[in-house]
Amino acid sequence: MWWKNSYFKYITAFILLLIAIFFMKLMHLFDPFLTIFKTLFYPVLIAGFLFYILRPVVELISKKMHIANVMAILITFISVTGMIYGAGYFLASTIRKEVEDFSHLPSKLQEMADKAKMEVEKKDMGLLSTNSIEHEITQYFSNLTQRMGEHFTQVFTTVIGAATLMIIVPILVFFFLKDGKSLCHLPLSF
| CA distance linking residue 72 with residue 64, whole number of Å | 10
Whose CA is closest to 180, among 66, 57, 81? Answer: 57
Enter the pTM of the model: 0.58
Angle at 60 between CA 54 and CA 61, to 5 degrees: 90
CA 63, distance to chain mean position in Å, is 35
pLDDT in tens, the chain (190 residues): 566 777 888 888 899 999 988 887 778 777 888 888 888 888 999 998 999 999 999 999 999 998 998 999 999 999 999 999 998 888 888 888 877 777 777 777 778 777 777 776 666 555 556 666 677 777 777 777 677 777 777 878 888 888 888 899 999 999 988 887 776 666 666 5
| CA distance linking residue 6 with residue 104, whole number of Å | 76
| CA distance linking residue 179 with residue 54, whole number of Å | 13
Output the pLDDT for position 38: 82
Q: Which residues, including other chains, have CB under 8 Å from residue 165's CB and lie 6 or more apart?
A: 42, 43, 46
Output the pLDDT for position 73: 92
Output the pLDDT for position 28: 79
